[in-house]
Amino acid sequence: MTEAVINNEHKDRLFTLLFGRSENRAWTLELYNAVNGFHYDNPDDIEITTLDDALYMGMKNDVSFILNEHMNIYENQSSFNPNMPLRQLMYAGRLYDKYVHLHKLNVYGSGIVRLPIPKLVVFYNGTDREAEDEQILYLRDSFEDGDPNGESDIIVRVRMININYGCNKALLEACKPLSEYSWFIEEIRHNQKDLHLKIDDAVNRAIDTMPKDYLIRPLLVGHRSEVNMGWMDDHSAEEINELSKEDGRREGLAEGGSYKLISMVCRKIPKGKTVAEIADDLEETEAVIEPIFETALKFAPDYDVKKIFEELQTAGIRV
């Protein structure tokens, strides 16, 4: 692998540096194979398509590339973001526009335009240790009432994969650079939280203690200052706040996700819907809906969503 050269005027995130640059396409291919269970062996077939914010009016995604029939759009998130389906839809629109123009496709002709299949993935490495190993985020959850009747003409789903160290072991074992990246992030957090090091010292120590046989080590050592700045950009606004304001972060997640689900359940109850019917409407399990349903009944007919959420939390029920 050729060592990456970083332009200081256009600094990439670490995840992008590792998997979104043409000189590291072997790692990109390894990640693609691990995520999809494939065994392709020619990294030269990869066409990197990552958006450049200088060309796309401030819009820049982490990693995107075309391989075979797939348009792969990969994002790395250090905090849970329920709006990733919307963001990925926006990225996909830009990338398809770029694809159409580069290949001189006629979208106004009588023949159907053939496009690569979008594969939308978020690699999550936030500090919520109770996050699932994998889950699917849907654009429909952003619509009023969650679009229970399937009225939306746009369907977007995003696969969110937990890549925290110790999670999804089979995936990490299948992609050594991703496993090493996961270790690196975990080591930085350990240095910050347990050794009480400042951010730059925590990053430097993680680089210095990284095993000598790690594939990504030469790149990190050779571009230490850029990696340091990249970590600051990626995590200072979120990771540091998470360490000191965990409760506030959880409340934000609740308002963005749990409150919405509770509200949708509350709207169904006055219509005489049963737990089973509501679960079917909202495409949730009855195990998820039943405690919300039973708790909400205590607050009828006003159904104070905040109070319902607080009672669920007090009872130790995660929504």
In a domain, residue 319? The reply is no
Q: Of 44-53, 55-64, 236-245, give the lowest mean pLDDT range.
A: 236-245
Q: Do residues 165 and 295 both lie within one domain?
A: no
Q: Do residues 199 and 309 both lie within one domain?
A: no
Q: Which residue has 């949730």 as its token pair? A: 284
Q: Please choose, from the candidates 309, 298, 294, the residue with its C-alpha nearest in 3D space to the C-alpha of residue 261.
A: 309
Q: Do residues 207 and 268 both lie within one domain?
A: no
Q: Do residues 131 and 254 both lie within one domain?
A: no
Given a cut of 80, whether residue 156 has pLDDT beyond it is yes
Please state, in angstroms and rounded to a whole number, the distance separating the CA atoms of residues 59 and 195.
37
Q: Do residues 231 and 291 both lie within one domain?
A: no
In a domain, residue 6? The reply is no
Report the pLDDT averaged over residues 72-85: 92
User: Where would I find the H helices in 45-168?
Assistant: 84-102
Q: Do residues 48 and 176 both lie within one domain?
A: yes
Pairing of strands 70-77, 47-48: unpaired
User: Where would I find the H helices in 216-314?
Assistant: 217-222, 224-235, 239-244, 246-253, 259-268, 275-282, 286-297, 305-314
In a domain, residue 25? The reply is yes
Structure-derived torsion over alpha carbons of residues 285, 291, 295, 301, reported in degrees to the nearest 10: 20
Please state, in angstroms and rounded to a whole number, the distance separating the CA atoms of residues 3 and 185.
21
For CA atoms 84, 85, 86, 87, give the dihedral sign: positive
* Residues whose CB is less than 8 angstroms from the CB of residue 169 and which lie 6 or more positions away in sequence, other chains included: none
Q: Do residues 210 and 157 both lie within one domain?
A: yes
Q: Do residues 55 and 139 both lie within one domain?
A: yes
Given a cut of 60, whether residue 34 has pLDDT beyond it is yes
Given a cut of 80, whether residue 244 has pLDDT beyond it is no
Given a cut of 80, whether residue 233 has pLDDT beyond it is no
In a domain, residue 277? The reply is yes
Boundary-marking domain end, from 243, 272, 292: 243
How many domains in the chain?
2
pTM given for the model: 0.70
Boundary-marking domain end, from 243, 268, 298: 243
In a domain, residue 2? The reply is no
Range of the domain at 280: 246-314
In a domain, residue 269? The reply is yes
Boundary-marking domain end, from 202, 217, 243: 243
Q: Do residues 66 and 108 both lie within one domain?
A: yes
- Could you read off the pLDDT of 136-149 as tens digits, one per residue? 999 999 998 777 77
Select the more confidently predicted residue: 229 or 201.
201
Given a cut of 70, whether residue 190 has pLDDT beyond it is yes
Q: Do residues 223 and 251 both lie within one domain?
A: no
Q: Do residues 229 and 265 both lie within one domain?
A: no
Q: Do residues 78 and 187 both lie within one domain?
A: yes
